[in-house]
């Protein structure tokens, strides 16, 4: 396993650089493998990374088996979505597999190759959802997936520790043991919106021992960052398709920038949130909470963040020459803990960011907003006491692929219409009832 102290080692043979951020090629094609060096860490950060306790293989295995456990109403939505991304990747790389009853299938692994991992700053939905929860651990598990699967086979004394590429025993078949997807990765670049968020996630990456030559970390907005000639086999971007009124004007340019970072044949997974729908009855507590949060931020001059719908994203990708091959909606159910996180973040913003200038009236307004949110949270606790509730929010995953060089985009197929995710076994039960 690799020690995090080699984080600052940089691959050699760079072309001439004009700054520490960007490598520039003087001759076209002369820097095909240009890699941007890691950003400088603050004092003490490297030591903190060195001191992080590393996971043992059995701990990685336990973590992944929990994720692969049979699906139920309490499984986190991002867990299901991450598994869905893995399945789509396997289906893309093994398109002709059809061996439903082949229990002796040899192990096959799909790979993310070089991955660009983008997480943005927006938090307009339930706490953590725009971070694609547990994303660092998910990426970390890919590096150790083969070792984890070998551990699984030894522990279970079985030759089969991996999901078949037909995927029928992954959540979707009753009376079948859960399995682990055969997924690998070569290296990654992770982009985070703030230094604090980057350093928080780097510490988690250190626990999985995926720093150093496995990954590079960047800070900032994707439109502002330079990547030289670096291209990626796979891009996973979550929370990116959202912004203020001003930022939405350039959303198509943002997608164009991201698509330009794909290698020919590369796959892009966009994780976004549909514009929230209002719901009737007690479950509208989510709408009420967000109404208060948006109101206080607007009063203090902060533009509300709007989510772009999946249909807009699909049409834009189509215009950019990318083949969309899957679009899936995931209804988000919120537990009380999710509501508490959202309200807690909002109250922290009110108390720390909403400047009252020492004015007694504005201080009183801040206090009223805090009181309203606390009362709504009490109501939310009662509503969610019977289990997670759907508050009108749907997450989505759109999977698309850049044609290979010389390959024409498929213009004959109709645009993909988003469909709601539902495990097959669950759908089967519904049909039988």
Domains of the chain: 55-274+309-331+394-432 (3.40.50.150), 278-304+336-387 (no CATH)
3-class secondary structure per residue, the chain: CCCHHHHHCCCCCCCCECCCCCECCCCCCCCCCCCCCCCCCCCCHHHHHHHCCCCCHHHHHHHHHHHCCCCCCCCCHHHHHHHHHHHHHHHHHCCCCCCCCCCCCCCCCEECCEEEEEECCCCCCCCCHHHCCCHHHHHHHHHCHHHHHHHHHHHHCCCCCECCCCCCCCCCCCCCCCCECCEECCEEEEEECCHHHHHHHHHHHHHCCCCHHHEEEEECCCCCCCCCCCCEEEEEEECCCEECHHHHCCHHHHHHHHHHCEEEEEEEEEEEECCCCCCCHHHHHHHHHHHHHHHHHHHCCCCCCEECCHHHHHHHHHHCCCEEEEEEEEEEEECHHHHHHHHHHHHHHHHHCCCCCCCHHHHHHHHHHHHHHHHHHHHHHHHHHHCCEEEEEEEEEEEEECCCCCCCCCCCCCCCCCEECCCHHHHHHHHHC
Q: What is the pLDDT of residue 66?
A: 64
Residue 341 pLDDT: 84
pLDDT along the chain (433 residues), means of 10: 33 30 34 53 74 82 66 61 89 73 66 92 39 81 89 72 60 55 93 86 90 90 90 93 80 93 96 88 87 87 84 93 93 84 87 78 89 93 85 91 82 77 56 48
Burial of 279 (0-12, 13-18, 19+ CB in 10 A): middle
Q: Model-level pTM?
A: 0.81
Residue 63 is predicted with a pLDDT of 75
């Amino acid at each position: 396993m690799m020690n995090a102290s080699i984080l600052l080692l940089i691959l050699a043979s760079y072309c001439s650089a004009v700054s520490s951020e960007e490598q520039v090629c003087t001759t076209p094609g002369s820097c095909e493998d240009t890699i941007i060096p890691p950003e400088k860490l603050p004092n003490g950060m490297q030591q903190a990374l060195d001191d992080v306790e590393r996971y043992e293989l059995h701990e990685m295995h336990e973590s992944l088996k929990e994720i692969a456990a049979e699906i139920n109403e309490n499984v986190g939505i991002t867990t299901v979505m991450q598994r869905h991304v893995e399945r789509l990747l396997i289906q893309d790389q093994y398109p002709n597999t059809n061996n439903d009853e082949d229990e002796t299938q040899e192990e096959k692994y799909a790979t993310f190759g070089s991955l660009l991992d983008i997480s943005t700053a927006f938090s307009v939905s339930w706490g953590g959802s725009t971070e694609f929860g547990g994303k660092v651990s998910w990426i970390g598990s890919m590096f150790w997936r083969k070792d984890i699967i070998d551990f699984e086979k030894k522990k279970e004394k079985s030759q089969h520790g991996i999901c078949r590429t037909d995927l029928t025993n992954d959540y979707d078949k009753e009376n079948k043991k859960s399995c682990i997807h055969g997924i690998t990765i070569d290296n990654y670049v992770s982009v985070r919106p703030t230094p604090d968020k980057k350093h928080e996630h780097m510490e988690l990456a250190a626990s999985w021992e995926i720093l150093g030559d496995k990954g590079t970390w960047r800070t900032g907005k994707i439109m502002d960052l330079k990547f030289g000639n670096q291209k990626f086999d796979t891009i996973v971007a979550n929370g990116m398709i959202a912004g203020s009124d001003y930022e939405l004007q350039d959303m198509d340019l943002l997608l164009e920038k991201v698509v330009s970072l794909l290698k020919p044949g590369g796959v892009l997974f966009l994780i976004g949130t549909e514009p929230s729908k209002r719901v009737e009855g007690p479950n509208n507590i989510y709408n009420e909470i967000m109404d208060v949060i948006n109101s206080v931020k607007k009063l203090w001059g902060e533009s509300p963040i709007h989510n772009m719908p999946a249909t807009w994203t699909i049409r834009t990708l189509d215009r950019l020459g990318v083949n969309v091959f899957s679009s899936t909606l995931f209804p988000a159910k919120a537990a009380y803990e999710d509501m508490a996180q959202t309200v807690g973040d909002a109250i922290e913003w009110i108390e720390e960011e909403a400047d009252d200038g020492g004015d007694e009236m504005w201080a009183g307004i801040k206090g009223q907003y805090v009181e309203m949110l606390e009362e709504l949270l009490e109501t939310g606790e009662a509503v969610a006491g019977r289990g997670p509730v759907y508050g009108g929010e749907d997450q989505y995953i759109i999977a698309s692929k850049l044609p290979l060089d010389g390959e024409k985009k498929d213009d004959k197929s109709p645009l993909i219409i988003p469909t709601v995710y539902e495990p097959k076994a669950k759908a089967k039960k519904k049909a039988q009832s």
